[in-house]
Structure 1
């Protein structure tokens, strides 16, 4: 199915309205809001690595309210169990049968707060649902529905009592980004509105319409040269001397999918090399495992990706069919 010009225009207009609506709750962070929205429309998940008090919970709540969906918040702690996330089966003595009690993962927007504070066993309870959109408990598989996004947070400053996320789980996050502190103008607006009653963000779209937008992304055209560019970027991450483990094929698929969503969100029915370049850092950097010597020397994954973008030539064409 090829996306039509009318559908492209509608998608771009709706995307802009969604971003503007969510930005009411997270002032001055339009680019981050657009990245998160594009991830949802790409059926991916978001890892927010940020210091406390930057609006992570407000962002998740505003997203759910905007799409008129459900949202839950899971506070990850060392004593949290997998059943506390996915749900458990309880025996009902009156009816003489087992009954499933759904966990907080059954929602459209799931905020997994401080995910690295839970044990690896509990962290792994998200692996199936993040990859396949379903949960299996006691041999029974249940779908969590569409749309579904996990917004996980972790604090880059305080590391006491935390467990590092395994590479297999990091790879399931489509992007890694941060909200960061607001600029001075946005901070002033926040202070001026601090005494006013908190107003919820108004819902402007339903989950069924959002599901339609997700389907439309598949109609964006990506030329063989654009796909070749994605392949060469991902291949370069595996050959970089500072890298012990480069991006997976899942990373390449995520970059291609996000680039298609980014293109349609900006009013184009085709993907350009610039779309790929714009998204390479948030999509690929968290998938790299650096050599210990490189980490000791202060090399970062972001710096490696930035250098790769300079070294790998982009195709000259604009990506149009």
Structure 2
């Protein structure tokens, strides 16, 4: 960074990020990588999909982050009978017989889309315009959404009965696909101690909308070397079996690779990852640090990979 004011802002961001994590850790024990990725997605103006078995505090984590950020928060519980109007809002007739638009829960800064795969594709698609264009269109009227705006969705990987797979177009709108794992033994001991006592933890506001937007612009300003950009694009090209850069493992096991949005996401997320680690410019290690959650939902395995039990994460590890 050549601008001294940007350097000072980057230092402030580094300190505020630590304060954010300290507030979140009052309630959320462990899951440090998950917290880092969720906060990174927010400062990259991206959305995140959390995938994990029940009881791993996915919903609590998102609620805690919204408490640490002084932003409006709405939770939408996705069910099979949920309609697009339940998310976006609808026009009604008031007492003077005039049409009036009643805003749905999508009009907030942070949206928790809980168990997003439990609703049909028609309703899931109601989020597409909001996630990409930061606006919604209802009855021919265009309504901009207040910035910052994030969709943080949860998904249960176990129960498949009564669920609907997310459309590829919507999956691609998520910056990260974050897999939550079980806590370590010691972390689970601490969780049980904290959650079975009568003490309640208060999470204080650390940042407001103005600061979040300022840091989002800062992330975009971070300089990045050409070789790091080329590494990110090369990594994405290696996921495409028709590319001349594709290794044999891609040609053998991948049906569809990642698109250009993955390359953009790798670069932006690497910039933020550098800042949260006290650096002023990202290197190849920063790209590698965010590669799995960015590529995980953008690669489709073929039947051979599924038959041999080769997971997406194993494929990404080979490409890295």
TM-score class, shorter:
over 0.9
Inter-partner Cα distance in structure 2 for 1:238 and 1:191? 45
- 1:12-62: per-residue Cα shift (whole Å, max 9, x none)? 111111122122221111111011000000011111110111111111111
Contact 1:63 1:109 in 2 (8 A): no
* Count of residues paired in the alignment: 308
1:221-242 deviation line (CA, Å, top 9, x unaligned)? 1111111111100000012121
Is 1:261 the counterpart of 2:263? The answer is: no
Counterpart of 1:209 (choices 192, 208, 211) is: 211
Rounded Cα–Cα distance in structure 1 between residues aligned with 2:27 and 2:146: 25
Equivalence for 1:80: 82
Is 1:90 aligned with 2:92? yes
Match of 1:62 among 44, 57, 64: 64
Q: Which residue is equivalent to 1:178?
A: 179
- The TM-score with structure 2 as length reference comes to 0.93
Q: Residues of 1 paired with 2:184 and 2:26: CA distance? A: 15
Please show how residues 147-296 of structure 1 align to structure 2 within 5 Å: 147-193=148-194, 194-239=196-241, 240-241=250-251, 242-296=253-307
C-alpha contact (below 8 Å) 2:273/2:286 kept by paired residues: yes
Query: 1:315: which partner in 2?
Result: none
| Structure 1 alignment gaps of length 5 or more | 310-321
Structure 2: which 5+ runs fail to align? Answer: 242-249
Q: Identify the match of residue 38 of structure 1 among 12, 37, 40.
A: 40
Cα distance between partner residues in 2 of 1:130 and 1:106: 12
Residues 282-321 of structure 1 aligned to structure 2 (within 5 Å): 282-309=293-320
Question: How far off its partner does 1:74 sit?
Answer: 1.1
Q: Is residue 48–residue 176 contact of structure 2 (8 Å, CA) maintained in 1?
A: yes
3-state secondary structure, aligned to 2:137? strand
| Greater alpha carbon shift after TM alignment, 216-225 vs 181-190 | 181-190
Structure 1 residues 247 and 2: CA distance shift in structure 2, 3 A: farther
Distance 1:19 1:142 in 2: 33
CA distance in 2, matches of 1:295, 1:179: 21
Report the alpha carbon displacement of residue 134 of structure 1 after superposing the two structures with TM. Answer: 1.1
Deviates more, 1:5-14 or 1:228-237: 5-14
Identify the residue that residue 100 of structure 1 maps to in structure 2: 101
Q: RMSD in angstroms over aligned alpha carbons?
A: 1.4
CA contact (8 A) 1:60 1:71 kept: no
> For 1:126-137, what aligned pairs fall within 5 Å after superposition?
126-137=127-138
